[in-house]
Structure 1
Amino acid sequence: MVKKVPDGKQLLTKNTVITNDTVVKNERVESLISQKPNGKLLGFPLRLGLYNIAKDNPDSLYYAWLERKPNRRENLAKILSNKQVDRLSQSFLVSGLSRFLKKTGEAPVIIDSIKIGTTKNRLQGFYSNQGFFDAKVTAKVDSVGVKRAEITYHVETGKGYIIDSISKRIETPALDSLFVKTQPRSLIKKGEQFNDEKFDAERTRLTTYFRNHGVYDFQVNHVRYDVITSEKDTNIDIVYDIEDRKIKRGDTLVKTPFKIYKISQVNIFTNSPIKKGKYKISDSVVYNNYNIYSIGKLNYKPKAITDAIFIEKGNYFSDNDKTLTSRSLSNLKVFNFPNIEYIEDLSTEDENDLVANIYLIPLKKKNLNASIDFNHSNIQDFGITGNLSLTFRNFFRRAETLEISTRGNIGSSRDLPNPNGTFFNLSEYGADVKLTFPRIFFPFKTTSIIKKEMLPTTQMSFGLTNQKNIGLDKENFTSIINYNWLPKDDTTIRYDLLNIQFVRNLNIDNYFNVYNSSYNRLNDLAQVYDTTGTYLDPSTGNLTNTSAVGFIDAVLNGSIPINNQSSDFNSIRSIGERRKRLIENNLIVSSAFTYNKNTRKGFLDNTFYAIKAKIESAGNLVSLFAKQVPQPESDNGNETLFGIEYAQYVKGEVDLIKHWDLGKKNILAFRTFGGIAIPYGNANSIPFSRSYFAGGSNDNRGWQAYGLGPGSSGGINDFNEANLKLAASVEYRFNIVGKINGGLFVDAGNIWNVFDNVEDKSYTFNGIESLKDIAVGTGIGLRYDFDFFVFRIDFGYKAYNPAKEQSERWFKDINFSKTVLNFGINYPF
């Protein structure tokens, strides 16, 4: 590794910081070190190795090779020409490979005494900012081999300086009064050690407080501190020093006391960025102390705009009011981001008045959008989705938005039957109508519970979809009324008042072509029990799609005698019941409450948590309606509405994600999920669309989607699903080189049937003992970061397979031939 380290120089192999005889392993401290050793992958300096392989002067070596033998150049020139012989020196074969290796690799980090000095100064400054004003830093370079050395930085902090007293010197009396009111919440306390970060945070806190209480001209640099030390001890005195602001008048700076401003006027310009007076105002209205102006006819109901504004006449100036107003106006989605300015009101005798001018630039009233997306999901390995939408803004002149859209999707899935071998073997198309109100649209007033600063919206949507995915082909009609609001910046709440979904299966005769495993089991049993060949096709000796249903009916009604206590009878009955459940049309009328909290501050924030909790109830409203309108019962003896059995269940789930930033592009990510759906009343099972599945690229990656569970059953169905799910995942993410990242993961979880019509104990959750059915998958992944999305490949393996005998469950499927390959877009959680 020292191949390219010059003589007399040393390769840096390690940095160590020792503070008061204790080795410090702190990312904050490590970031102060100006020279760091070459990066390593699994303990090996891969990029340094690539750099060392590269030739330093490949073109010179090439010309030396040409001259090494007489006539070599002339012989090559006869074939290529002299010009091409020279061009070979810049070819990839001669010098391009070395350039690539140097660019991809990393030059050796040579110990630099100047950078050692820089690091010492940074460390001294860091500890001084923490109150160790007498900190001393030394550095020692120790050889650890030929041309190799490590650096040890020794820090002696001395005693920390303690705040003994706090006083103030504030020149503006009005500011002094505000300071006294907020001082109990100060971040600087007597008896605590000096910490520069707390002083910076206190500057920001004070500035925010002053600016939210009318002090319009106040800035963070107006807060200064005098730190008075003593030669006798390590006690310090702190003095808040806030002078009057300085204004330039002519060539001199004049001190002027800070003013506490009130809002005297609020002017709203609805359709022009141009300030008042530049264009002729042709329409205006005064509404609730707001002056609304328009160039041309005013196209908005005044209340629709003023409800989104928190700057009020007579209130003190406040940055919070300005921020809330900007967010709320943007939330209307009929204007560009607003421009809000304040100017002193010269029309009044009071010098402490401000005029707030709000300039709004309308978005286009009509907008046509077209888009195409490439996507991936647990069902769809690859898909192309196209959307065409037409948006009407300010539809009823109260900032409503109407969106009419159509969409189409074609996709490919390896998990679906594909007798013709076509690549795109699933499709979907549909249309939606969505109307959004920038407020709670409800018969009763809700502002005492959901305040307008929570940016509430109401959405009404209607959609119709036709899809060909799992082979039965479906039509799906949805109608939703929901409310959304933000009680905090990192928290979102959604309440679905009404969610109607009607699912109609269009191709039920294709059932046994789709669910091959069910057909194969049924066909094997028919070979044994259909001794007369009544249901077997004479030409093939197998069941057909139609005769398979007849064979099930014959067994259940006793036409084909099988002991109804036998496993074969139970297997045939189970296949028949599953078929009836999956081909039935579904009517789901539900309400749901969803809570979302995400503490992530930005794309680069890798230490955060996110929690999503949802509770859903279905069938209660439609049950009341069905009792008032008598309908015939279904074949199962259940109530119907419009001839369709309606679903009735309660469902709850919690999803928690936690990320830890370990530094140096290393991240530990954790996720856990729990969900249960309990049928009752008019149902003894959960509709397929509301059930849970396990496996796939965003779940347990040791199994394919729908391939895991339920319980220890072994995933014998084509699409295995159940109504209880537990899952957890942990993933260690690290950088390999450049934009190529890696991941090591362990996934655990399973699905079970509980409180429904499934009785087989290998499928059901039977208390604590069923936790032994939790499957464990593990593996390694590669990711490439394209900045705007991450492409992911995960190689999953079954570490613990609950479908096998106890002695065969652990580590029997970890070999290359049993790799489960998962492709994904972005991280799984």
Structure 2
Amino acid sequence: MKKHLTKISLIIVILLLFVACNTTKRVAEGKRLLMKNEISVDGKEIKDENLFFQLYQKPNSSILGYRLRLNLFNLSKPNADSTYAIWLNKKPKRKARLAKLLSQKQVDRLGKSFLVSGWSDFLINTGEAPVIYDSTYTKKSLKRLEAYYYNKGYFDVKANFTSDTTLKKKTNIKYQIALKKPYLIDSISTQIGSPALDSLYKAKVANSIIKKNKQYATENLEEERNRITTEFRNNGAYLFQQNYISYALDTINTSKKVNVKLIVKDYSYRENDSSKTAPFELYKISKVAIYTDRSTNKVEAPIKDSVQYKDFMLYSEKKLKYHPKSITNSVFITKGSLFSDTNTQLTTKYLSNLRVFDYPAIEYKIDPKDNKSLIANIYLKPRDKFSFGYSADFIHSNIQDFGISGNTSLGIRNVFNGAETFQIGFRGNVGASKDLANPKNNFFNISEIGVDAKLSFPRLFFPFNLDKIIRKSMIPSTTISVGYAKQTNIGLDKQNFTSSFSYNWSPKTNSTFRLDLFNIQYVKNLNTGNYFNIYQSSYNALNAIANNYPTVNQNYFTNDTHQLTIENGTNGFTADALTNPSGYSITETDLKSIRSIEERRKRLTENNLIFATSISYSQTTKKDLTDNSFHAFRTKFESAGNFLSLLARVSKQLNKQGGADTFFEVEYSQYLKGEFEYIKHWPLPGKKVFAIRSFAGLAVPYGNSKSIPFSRSYFSGGSNDIRAWQPYSLGPGKSGGLNDFNEANLKLTLSAELRFNLFGKFNGALFADAGNIWNVLDNTEDDSYTFNGISSLNTIALGTGTGIRYDQGLFVVRFDFGFKTYNPANSENEKWFKEINLAKSVLNIGINYPF
């Protein structure tokens, strides 16, 4: 029945859209729908979006050529409420009969209801009215096009248009532009009245954007005006503004050349009732005063404590609570230096980055003792010493039928009077699961608790001074963190301890270095006997093999269903098979599978000790959330186990367990790991964006390890990965995702996505994700799992799909439907396009874009 309803609904939607496809349905007689704009320059068709942006009239928007919003608009009924009123009053007794059935008030309101006019209103608001050709707008567009090229130096540009009227109720407009020869800059002269500014200009004239014999462009004049203003205001010209700069252009009898004169006027001011001018002066900073607990509206409050630190004066209404260096390290305005906008902006940015003050206010005043000097007053308003947050959620998942989770956090600012911040958070979860044994009949039989603490220093916490290597302008910081979590009746009931000591700094804008001097993770599994309850695929495979051999000890099975018991049966059968395979006459293939299952069980149930050091670097050209033309990349290198190996030998804690070294009776991991990620976005015409992401990661075990810890391995699938597969369900290689949680130590991914606007805040996407994970250079030998060179690239999976996104502004809610286009796990003739159907699609729900 459901299938029939789906088909009927689909047919209805197609028919409605077909009816709406009459794009001229709402075009009145004598009018024409604008279908297409074409622009040619000197006879060559141009697709530059900047040119089309100059046009006053643009055709209705389309998605891959289909005018969805126009067709939605055509589905609506104009003046639906008026049509209803005419229908209601057409027969004298109709209104009375409806009033008896409903009420007079309901009958009157029915015209505004969703049933009568609401659906049409929705279609009108969501859709797009037809763009009716208007020759007035076309003529205005011509002037815009001419102005566009005029500002690029084509002073003799001419533009005209033709209208194609061969189509019924439709038209195409063709704009033709004749550029002729562009004008070049011939000479550049200056008229700068202030000697100080004239010297500054001449010192940096080599950086000028206006060059002789370069094609004239108005935007170059604007950029030069900005450059000069920035140069002047960063070198003491406190009173200078951009509007003091102007240009005089001469093109008379110059043979397609432009003579440019740069004019910088003197400072103008009012004295009494008259206007006066004077040459600009360059101001130096005579004093830097920092008010640590004041705001600009309290400048007259009494000062009770003050201290001079180097060339800075620090004031406080109460006892000074900060080490002076912790604040002055973030101040780039210094005594004796020239006034500088850049130093002001850096100071504001870095003081805000301390996170112990609100946004600072910086005020300059002319020094009454020297009218060519400035006093810089920096007003800081401390944030509250303590901050507290909490949240709670109700949970339903495949682990627990009902759960309640809660988080609390406490923040303490300026802990040691050096602008440090300390945060501690507690998290807990209690839940109920009817699938667990519960002899005490407790409703809540699942729990998890955790605590995390982090201490941040706004500087490098290091025994040596590194200021010459990592300058304070790089916003250096140090973070020390510890965490502990414990689970009960969840998975293997892990205890997880983490600790890290890391440095962060930004060598330049939008780039970041992070050095984890050490990152420790210790995982202890308290309930290893629960393994086969959690990893059902491993249990099913082992159980199927055991049932193939009638000579297996029957005590390993349940009496009723003849299933291996956990854990007596699973452990007993595995031990028998591996120690004496001939006793059950087990085949080589089954023996290999049993060995693989047992190795995986040991790996996932063993306790892990990871002591790693890593360095990562990231860079992006993205300016803000609306920037759709940028690239970003991230790289990371991590090494684990070397320091512990040395420490174990020195402290004589080195022991052998199963051929591996241990530290305090825990086998520690040794590996090298490298990652690289690159993201690129290109803007396309019509509010479209094309984005790609590539990722490569490899972790190689060595020394004390034959495999990578589960927490440091890679998985594939999910809403931010290969979207045609669920998380952990793809790979490794062509194995087919046989395990419950498939992971490996090599990963390659390449994704591409075309994003476009549907209507309003709703956007669409077409995407393709390719990639997989493999085992390489570890203890896995099965060819279906491993990467064996170039030939293994044919096991890269391909998922394609489409998505709908709602852009709320602050975040994006995303729905992606992924289809397995190429599945390397299938047989040779079943790999391509055999799973392109809704029944086998994967729905991913996410927040914000995947990359």
TM-score normalised to the size of structure 1?
A: 0.95
> Pick from 27, 36, 40: which aligns with 1:18?
40
SS in 2 for 1:278: coil
> Pick from 559, 563, 566: which aligns with 1:542?
563
> 1:104/1:527 Cα in 2 relative to 1: closer, same or farther (>3 Å)?
same
| Aligned equivalents of 1:629, 1:259: Cα separation in 2 | 68
**Most deviating of 660-669 and 73-82:** 73-82
> 1:134/1:90 Cα in 2 relative to 1: closer, same or farther (>3 Å)?
same
Q: Deviations over 1:499-525 (max 9, x none)?
A: 111111122111111111111111122
SS in 2 for 1:240: strand
| Aligned equivalents of 1:121, 1:533: Cα separation in 2 | 92
Match of 2:844 in 1: 822
SS in 2 for 1:689: helix
**Most deviating of 654-663 and 613-622:** 654-663
Following TM superposition, by how much is the alpha carbon of 1:142 offset from its aligned partner in structure 2, in angstroms?
2.1
> Pick from 530, 533, 541: which aligns with 1:510?
530
Match of 2:470 in 1: 450
SS in 1 for 2:332: coil
Following TM superposition, by how much is the alpha carbon of 1:587 offset from its aligned partner in structure 2, in angstroms?
0.5
Following TM superposition, by how much is the alpha carbon of 1:426 offset from its aligned partner in structure 2, in angstroms?
8.8
Match of 1:689 in 2: 711
Following TM superposition, by how much is the alpha carbon of 1:467 offset from its aligned partner in structure 2, in angstroms?
4.4
Match of 1:650 in 2: 672
Following TM superposition, by how much is the alpha carbon of 1:76 offset from its aligned partner in structure 2, in angstroms?
2.6
Q: Which amino acid aligns with 1:544?
A: T
1:403 paired to 2:453: no
Aligned length: 823
Structure 1 unaligned residues grouped into runs of 5+: none
Following TM superposition, by how much is the alpha carbon of 1:379 offset from its aligned partner in structure 2, in angstroms?
12
Give the conservation status (yes or no) of the 8 Å contact 2:552–2:584: no
| Aligned equivalents of 2:726, 2:445: Cα separation in 1 | 18
Following TM superposition, by how much is the alpha carbon of 1:321 offset from its aligned partner in structure 2, in angstroms?
1.1
Following TM superposition, by how much is the alpha carbon of 1:644 offset from its aligned partner in structure 2, in angstroms?
0.6
| Aligned equivalents of 1:215, 1:382: Cα separation in 2 | 67
1:440 paired to 2:472: no
**Most deviating of 293-302 and 3-12:** 3-12
1:483 paired to 2:503: yes
1:714 paired to 2:765: no
> 1:750/1:249 Cα in 2 relative to 1: closer, same or farther (>3 Å)?
same
Match of 1:595 in 2: 617
Q: Which amino acid aligns with 1:299?
A: K
Give the conservation status (yes or no) of the 8 Å contact 1:379–1:705: no
| Aligned equivalents of 1:717, 1:74: Cα separation in 2 | 70
Q: Which amino acid aligns with 1:211?
A: R
SS in 2 for 1:64: helix
State how 1:588-627 maps to structure 2 within 5 Å: 588-627=610-649
Match of 1:753 in 2: 775
Give the conservation status (yes or no) of the 8 Å contact 1:140–1:153: yes
> 1:74/1:142 Cα in 2 relative to 1: closer, same or farther (>3 Å)?
same
Match of 2:154 in 1: 132
> 1:117/1:158 Cα in 2 relative to 1: closer, same or farther (>3 Å)?
same
> 1:307/1:374 Cα in 2 relative to 1: closer, same or farther (>3 Å)?
farther
Q: Which amino acid aligns with 2:423?
A: E
> 1:572/1:811 Cα in 2 relative to 1: closer, same or farther (>3 Å)?
same
Give the conservation status (yes or no) of the 8 Å contact 1:203–1:220: yes
> Pick from 162, 172, 185: which aligns with 1:163?
185
Q: Which amino acid aligns with 2:180?
A: G
1:65 paired to 2:87: yes
> 1:797/1:425 Cα in 2 relative to 1: closer, same or farther (>3 Å)?
farther
SS in 1 for 2:165: strand
SS in 1 for 2:390: strand
1:53 paired to 2:53: no
Q: Which amino acid aligns with 1:321?
A: N
Match of 1:292 in 2: 314
**Most deviating of 816-825 and 176-185:** 816-825
State how 1:735-814 maps to structure 2 within 5 Å: 735-814=757-836
Match of 1:346 in 2: 368
| Aligned equivalents of 2:430, 2:39: Cα separation in 1 | 58
**Most deviating of 461-470 and 774-783:** 461-470
**Most deviating of 44-53 and 302-311:** 44-53
Following TM superposition, by how much is the alpha carbon of 1:151 offset from its aligned partner in structure 2, in angstroms?
1.7
Following TM superposition, by how much is the alpha carbon of 1:428 offset from its aligned partner in structure 2, in angstroms?
4.8
Q: Which amino acid aligns with 2:407?
A: N
| Aligned equivalents of 2:723, 2:402: Cα separation in 1 | 17
> 1:565/1:624 Cα in 2 relative to 1: closer, same or farther (>3 Å)?
farther
> 1:78/1:192 Cα in 2 relative to 1: closer, same or farther (>3 Å)?
same
**Most deviating of 802-811 and 601-610:** 802-811
> 1:426/1:607 Cα in 2 relative to 1: closer, same or farther (>3 Å)?
farther
SS in 1 for 2:679: strand
> 1:264/1:532 Cα in 2 relative to 1: closer, same or farther (>3 Å)?
closer
Give the conservation status (yes or no) of the 8 Å contact 2:692–2:750: yes
Following TM superposition, by how much is the alpha carbon of 1:767 offset from its aligned partner in structure 2, in angstroms?
1.1
Following TM superposition, by how much is the alpha carbon of 1:327 offset from its aligned partner in structure 2, in angstroms?
1.3
Give the conservation status (yes or no) of the 8 Å contact 1:436–1:457: yes
> Pick from 135, 138, 154: which aligns with 2:176?
154
SS in 2 for 1:630: coil
Give the conservation status (yes or no) of the 8 Å contact 2:755–2:766: yes
| Aligned equivalents of 1:467, 1:287: Cα separation in 2 | 51
Match of 2:376 in 1: 356
Q: Which amino acid aligns with 2:798?
A: V
Q: Which amino acid aligns with 1:390?
A: L
**Most deviating of 295-304 and 272-281:** 272-281
**Most deviating of 589-598 and 812-821:** 812-821
Give the conservation status (yes or no) of the 8 Å contact 2:722–2:799: yes
Give the conservation status (yes or no) of the 8 Å contact 2:577–2:586: no
Following TM superposition, by how much is the alpha carbon of 1:250 offset from its aligned partner in structure 2, in angstroms?
2.6
| Aligned equivalents of 1:153, 1:383: Cα separation in 2 | 65
| Aligned equivalents of 1:213, 1:154: Cα separation in 2 | 48
The alignment's C-alpha RMSD in Å is 2.7
Give the conservation status (yes or no) of the 8 Å contact 1:554–1:560: no
Give the conservation status (yes or no) of the 8 Å contact 2:522–2:609: yes
**Most deviating of 632-641 and 507-516:** 632-641
Give the conservation status (yes or no) of the 8 Å contact 1:696–1:704: yes
State how 1:322-401 maps to structure 2 within 5 Å: 322-348=344-370, 351-371=371-391, 386-401=406-421
TM-score normalised to the size of structure 2?
A: 0.92
Q: Which amino acid aligns with 1:352?
A: K
> 1:185/1:450 Cα in 2 relative to 1: closer, same or farther (>3 Å)?
same
Match of 1:201 in 2: 223
Match of 1:89 in 2: 111
Following TM superposition, by how much is the alpha carbon of 1:380 offset from its aligned partner in structure 2, in angstroms?
13
Q: Deviations over 1:538-565 (max 9, x none)?
A: 3432211112012111212217636688
Q: Which amino acid aligns with 1:770?
A: S
| Aligned equivalents of 1:427, 1:816: Cα separation in 2 | 37
**Most deviating of 383-392 and 777-786:** 383-392
SS in 2 for 1:230: coil
Give the conservation status (yes or no) of the 8 Å contact 1:599–1:609: yes
> 1:425/1:781 Cα in 2 relative to 1: closer, same or farther (>3 Å)?
farther
**Most deviating of 335-344 and 372-381:** 372-381
Following TM superposition, by how much is the alpha carbon of 1:235 offset from its aligned partner in structure 2, in angstroms?
0.7
| Aligned equivalents of 2:90, 2:780: Cα separation in 1 | 84
Match of 2:101 in 1: 79
Following TM superposition, by how much is the alpha carbon of 1:67 offset from its aligned partner in structure 2, in angstroms?
3.1
Give the conservation status (yes or no) of the 8 Å contact 2:525–2:606: yes
SS in 2 for 1:602: coil
- % identical aligned pairs: 51
Q: Which amino acid aligns with 1:722?
A: A
**Most deviating of 694-703 and 384-393:** 384-393
Give the conservation status (yes or no) of the 8 Å contact 2:581–2:591: no
1:471 paired to 2:494: no
SS in 1 for 2:66: coil
Q: Deviations over 1:672-722 (max 9, x none)?
A: 110011111111111000001111111111211111111111111111111
Q: Which amino acid aligns with 1:579?
A: R
Match of 2:24 in 1: 2
Q: Deviations over 1:364-388 (max 9, x none)?
A: 1111122468999999999997432
Following TM superposition, by how much is the alpha carbon of 1:312 offset from its aligned partner in structure 2, in angstroms?
0.7
